[in-house]
Structure formats: C-alpha cells, structure tokens
C-alpha cells in the first residue's frame, strides 16, 4: 500500500520506443515522463529484429530521465508493459544467442502456411487463443528448428520481450500470464504451457520460464537500481502485455466498449470474463488477469503504412522512412487532408508488412485500386490513411460476434492528428472517444500495478485513482457527408480484399525480392 505524495511508474516497451510515465497515487494524473526510440532493423528481406542490448539501454535511459525529473518525489513501485509476440533465445549463461525477433518478422511465412494447410491451425487457435501466423512465437520456433538448428540447439531458454525486461530489472527468469497467452504455446484454459503446442514448436517445457499472475510483485535488483536511479528492492509488478493494458488504460474493460490502439501497428479488443474461442478463426484471445481477457484482432500496418506513403510520395517532408515517430509529421497529414474523403475513388489495401486480422494472410501484399489521371500524391497519402482505418473497421465488425460494439475508446500516437481521428470515427461509424494525454498502455500498466500493490479494490477503481477526475468523454465529431462516404467504402472493402486475395498469387514476386 502506498501513501500520499507518491508516484507509480509505468514502463511501456513497444516496437520502436520505450515510454516511462509517472502517475500520482493521489489522483493527480501523470506528473513526469520520458521516451527513447530504437530501430527495427531488417537484416534480410522479411526479417524484422532488434538488438536486445539496444532496447535495454533505452529502457535504462528512459527510466533514469523520468526518475531525475521527479526529483525528491517518492516512487512507490514500477509496473511493466511490453509488446507481444517477440522471441529471443538465451544460452546457459543467460546471454542472447539470437536477436529479438519481433511480431513484424515474416521469415516463418512458409511454416505458418503449412500449419494452416495441414489442418493444425484451428486446433492451435482453440487451445491457445493465438492465431497461426508468422507473428506467433510458436511458428517462429518451427522456423528455427528447420532452418537454423545450430542456433536452436544452443538455446537454453526461449523468452519474450517481457521476460527479457523482467530478467533485466529483477534478475528473475519468469514470464506472466498475459504475455504467455500470446505466444501460441500456452493453454488458455489450463493457464500453463500446452504439451501439444510445445510438440509442434519442437521445444521442451523446461526451455520456457514459469508463468506468474500478472499481479505478481518482484523486487528491483541493485544493478537495475544503479542504472535507473531507483531504490534497490523497489516493488516491480510484472504487469501484462501492451494490448490488454491498452484496454485497461482507456477504460475499455466493460461489455460493449472496444479498445483501439494505433501506433506503428494497431489492434481492436473487447474485454470478456475468461478465455473465449473464436468459431470463425479470425480473432485472438489474450489475458489481462486470470479472470479478465480480451478478444480482438491486430493489424500489422498501422501508422507505419502512412509513414511509408510519406517516404514514397512526399520524402521531402519526412525523411524518416519506417522508423520515425509513431505519428506522421503534421505537414504530411496536412497534405493528405487536401484530398477529399474517399480520395476520389482511390483505395489502398495497406498490407506492407505481413498482415494479421482478420485476413491472417502473411503473403498478401498491399495495393492501390482505382487509380485515375486525376489522382495526385495527396490522394495517395490520404488513401493510405483511409486504408488503415478500413482495415481496422473489419476487426470491429468481427467483434460483433462476441457482442455489440456500442463505443470505441482509442489511444496511440496517430490520434494526435485530427485527420486520423475524424477518418477513423467516420469509417468505424460508432462513437469514438480518444483518450487524451497519457491514456493507454502506460496508464493501464500503472493501474494494474496500483491494484497489485493493494491500492485499490478492483481495476476500475485503480484507474480512476491514478488518472484523477475526468470530464465525460466527447466522441469525435463526424459530418453526415463523411459518414455516408465512408459507409460506401466500408461496405465494399471486404469484397475488394476477397477479390484481390483470389488473384494476388499472379502478382507474387520472387521470395528473395520480398520486403
């Protein structure tokens, strides 16, 4: 239990950046923060990896900056959030023998296709809640066993990003239920490593860390304390994965309220009271706590699609390629806004990275449709943004099989932009409330931490206690004309995807040339 005048730190380690936010335990909201970026590298076509040491150095730097900004304010604890689906091999000395293979890595596309065509994918999804796709650590492990057996043989421990962070901060080799539930290796009902999934992956149970509840409290080591400026022995709440915590941070943990996060990638999720199998095979199911799970779908191509479009059609405005900030430059968005809603009939399928929900076709490439002489770079930019929103809307529609989606609460760097907000609201055709300030994952992590430390009786109370009083949220305003325009696009988008999927093989490029 914490006292007045204290703060909790939320550590959010994502795909391209680490963020640290300090929240007052007296309801004062966020009082300090820091951020550090790091690259997502591509050593071979289709591979997307990170250097673990670079990520951990960014964590240490961001923590130290936030702690320095707090001055004499007492830190009561640290709660940890991280991106899902990463895979890293450690040797007997707990030293990395592989890079961190991220969710975006598509090297195991053939293995995913084989598992699907062989009929195993549906059973694995039912057992583990994780779709068979190159993002899945299970499928990555199949790739290592087949294509890099020497490296696989040198691995004593297979970890995810969260496990690496906990080892770095607490010295303990453990994982937690939320991150484990997104590996494709954990039995959702048993909350333990699944023997059949392990057999498919070709690994042993003892190569994986023990699974702890997301509310488990560990202690900060002396080394981690020295690097960060925090006191040794500080309570460290192991926390959950960034997706489920995003729902908590926006308050999207009640029936009918979906949480939308959109940064480099994106996801739409809705809370349920336990593991939920998806009969159509298009949605995942991951844990937040033992009795609160989220069902939803993720897109690989969020803000990264807009950054690609900017680098391609307006390089003089960005110059940042695919690894810049999580939101596009304001000049780039201003240029896109010059094109009308619907982009004068130009439509983009934004499949630049191996796409996930709801198509789950890692080989499907992106495309522009309806190109006419009248189209300018403004149209191509806006069509990229609209394509991402249309893809997100297909997941919101799929969630209707779980229950009615009456409201969407959004968070992420993209929504700093009025254009992103209005287009997303128009395409979703549901009330869209954008969380201001430090909502989302960092706030969700600290709310879970506050609950774990005994500061609140339940998660909703913990959320209210940390963020303080807020005004009733106002949905993003959308004109009737925009709603009508996007309704037509949304109605035709799934058919366009199906038609393109049917002929896409004819345009397939050689494997060596794929990005």
User: What is the pLDDT at residue 263?
Assistant: 83
Alpha helices, H only, 213-295:
222-228, 242-249
User: What is the pLDDT at residue 328?
Assistant: 42
User: What is the pLDDT at residue 471?
Assistant: 67
With 0-12 CB in 10 A as exposed, 13-18 as middle and 19+ as buried, what is 233? exposed
User: What is the pLDDT at residue 438?
Assistant: 47
- Sign for the CA dihedral angle at 367, 370, 376, 382 comes to negative
Secondary structure class of 498 (helix, strand, coil): helix
Model confidence, pTM: 0.88
Distance CA 400, CA 406 (A): 10
Question: Containing H/E element for 65?
Answer: helix 52-70
User: What is the pLDDT at residue 480?
Assistant: 97
Is residue 441 within 8 A of residue 241, CB to CB? The reply is no
Is residue 160 within 8 A of residue 86, CB to CB? The reply is yes
The fold adopted by the segment(s) 6-242 is: Nucleotidyltransferase; domain 5 (3.30.420)
User: What is the pLDDT at residue 319?
Assistant: 55
User: What is the pLDDT at residue 42?
Assistant: 94
Which residues on neighbouring strands pair with residue 369, listed in sequence order? 347
User: What is the pLDDT at residue 327?
Assistant: 40
Q: How many other C-beta atoms can be found within 10 angstroms of the C-beta atom of residue 291?
A: 8
Cis previous bond, 358, omega within 30: yes
Nearest CA to 181 out of 194, 167, 171, 165 is that of 194
Residue-level length of the chain: 515
Phi, psi of 17, deg, nearest 5: -160, 155
Distance CA 448, CA 228 (A): 22
Task: List CB contacts of 110: < 8 A, sequence separation 6 or more.
Answer: none
What angle is formed at CA 496 by the lines to CA 256 and CA 421, rounded to 5 degrees? 45
Question: Containing H/E element for 196?
Answer: helix 195-201
User: What is the pLDDT at residue 447?
Assistant: 97
| CATH number of the 251-434+478-508 domain | 3.30.420.40
User: What is the pLDDT at residue 510?
Assistant: 54
Nearest CA to 241 out of 161, 356, 325, 302 is that of 161
Secondary structure class of 452 (helix, strand, coil): helix
| Crossing angle of helices 242-249 and 459-467, rounded to 10° | 70
Measured in whole angstroms, how far is the alpha carbon of residue 23 from the centre of its chain? 22
Could you tell me where in the chain the CATH 3.30.420.40 domains are found?
A: 6-242, 251-434+478-508
Secondary structure class of 409 (helix, strand, coil): strand
Distance CA 57, CA 72 (A): 24
Q: How far apart are the first and last CA of the chain?
A: 50
Distance CA 78, CA 273 (A): 26
Q: How many other C-beta atoms can be found within 10 angstroms of the C-beta atom of residue 418?
A: 12
User: What is the pLDDT at residue 429?
Assistant: 97
Phi, psi of 80, deg, nearest 5: -115, 135
Between the alpha carbon of residue 226 and those of residues 8, 232, 500, the distances in Å are 18, 8, 55
Distance CA 506, CA 379 (A): 27
Q: How many other C-beta atoms can be found within 10 angstroms of the C-beta atom of residue 267?
A: 29
Nearest CA to 493 out of 422, 416, 398 is that of 398
User: What is the pLDDT at residue 363?
Assistant: 82
Distance CA 429, CA 203 (A): 45
pLDDT in tens for each of the 515 residues of the chain? 444 579 999 999 998 899 999 999 988 899 999 999 999 999 999 899 999 999 999 999 999 999 999 999 999 999 999 999 999 999 999 999 999 999 989 999 999 999 999 989 999 999 999 999 999 999 999 999 999 999 999 999 999 999 999 999 999 999 999 999 999 999 999 999 999 999 999 999 999 999 999 999 999 999 999 999 999 999 999 999 998 998 999 899 998 999 998 888 889 999 999 998 777 778 999 999 999 999 999 998 998 899 899 999 998 886 544 444 544 478 899 999 999 999 999 999 999 988 888 888 888 899 999 999 999 999 999 999 999 999 999 999 999 988 999 999 998 878 989 999 999 999 999 999 997 654 578 999 999 999 999 999 999 999 999 987 766 779 999 999 999 999 999 999 999 999 998 888 777 655 444 44
User: What is the pLDDT at residue 278?
Assistant: 76
Secondary structure class of 140 (helix, strand, coil): helix
């Amino acid at each position: 239990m914490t006292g007045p005048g204290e703060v909790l730190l939320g550590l959010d380690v994502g795909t391209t950046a680490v963020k640290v936010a300090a929240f007052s335990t007296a309801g004062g909201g966020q009082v300090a923060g820091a951020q550090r970026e790091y690259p997502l590298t591509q050593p071979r076509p289709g591979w997307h990896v990170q250097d673990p040491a670079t990520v951990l150095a960014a964590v240490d730097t961001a923590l130290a900056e936030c702690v320095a900004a707090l001055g004499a304010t007492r830190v009561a604890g640290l709660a940890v959030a991280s991106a899902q689906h990463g895979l890293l091999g450690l040797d007997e000395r707990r030293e990395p023998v592989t890079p961190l293979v991220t969710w975006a890595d598509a090297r195991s596309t053939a293995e995913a296709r084989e598992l699907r065509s062989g009929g195993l994918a549906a059973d694995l999804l039912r057992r583990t809640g994780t779709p068979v796709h190159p993002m899945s650590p299970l499928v990555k492990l199949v790739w290592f066993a087949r294509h890099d057996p020497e490296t696989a043989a040198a691995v004593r421990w297979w970890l995810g990003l969260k496990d690496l962070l906990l080892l770095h901060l607490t010295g303990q080799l453990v994982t937690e239920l939320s991150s484990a539930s997104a590996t494709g290796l954990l039995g959702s009902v048993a909350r333990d490593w699944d023997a059949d999934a392990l057999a498919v992956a070709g690994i042993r149970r003892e190569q994986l860390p023990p699974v702890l509840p997301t509310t488990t409290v560990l202690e900060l080591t002396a080394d981690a304390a020295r690097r960060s400026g925090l006191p040794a022995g500080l309570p460290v709440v192991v926390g959950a994965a960034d997706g489920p915590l995003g729902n908590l941070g926006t308050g999207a943990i009640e029936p009918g309220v979906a949480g939308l996060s959109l940064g480099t990638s994106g996801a739409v999720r809705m809370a349920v009271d336990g593991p939920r199998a998806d009969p159509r095979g298009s949605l995942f199911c991951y844990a937040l706590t033992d009795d609160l799970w989220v069902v939803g779908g993720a897109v690989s191509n969020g803000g990264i699609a807009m950054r690609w479009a900017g680098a391609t059609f307006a390089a003089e405005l960005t110059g940042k390629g695919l690894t810049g900030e999580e939101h596009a430059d304001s000049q780039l968005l201003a240029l896109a806004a010059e094109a009308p809603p619907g982009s004068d009939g130009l439509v983009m399928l934004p499949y630049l990275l191996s796409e996930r929900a709801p198509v789950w076709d890692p080989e499907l490439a992106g495309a522009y449709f309806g190109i006419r002489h009248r189209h300018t770079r403004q149209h191509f930019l806006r069509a990229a943004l609209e394509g991402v929103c249309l893809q997100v809307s297909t997941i919101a529609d799929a969630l209707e099989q779980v229950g009615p989606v009456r409201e969407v609460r959004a968070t992420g760097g993209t929504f700093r932009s009025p254009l992103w907000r209005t287009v997303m609201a128009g395409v979703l055709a549901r009330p869209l409330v954008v969380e201001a300030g430090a909502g989302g994952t960092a706030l969700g992590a600290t709310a879970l931490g506050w609950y774990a430390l005994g500061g609140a009786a339940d998660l909703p109370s913990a959320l209210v206690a940390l963020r303080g009083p807020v005004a009733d949220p106002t949905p993003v305003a959308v004109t009737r004309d925009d709603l009508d325009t996007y309704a037509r696009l949304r109605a035709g988008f799934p058919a366009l995807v199906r038609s393109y999927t049917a002929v896409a093989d004819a345009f397939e490029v050689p494997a060596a040339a794929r990005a």
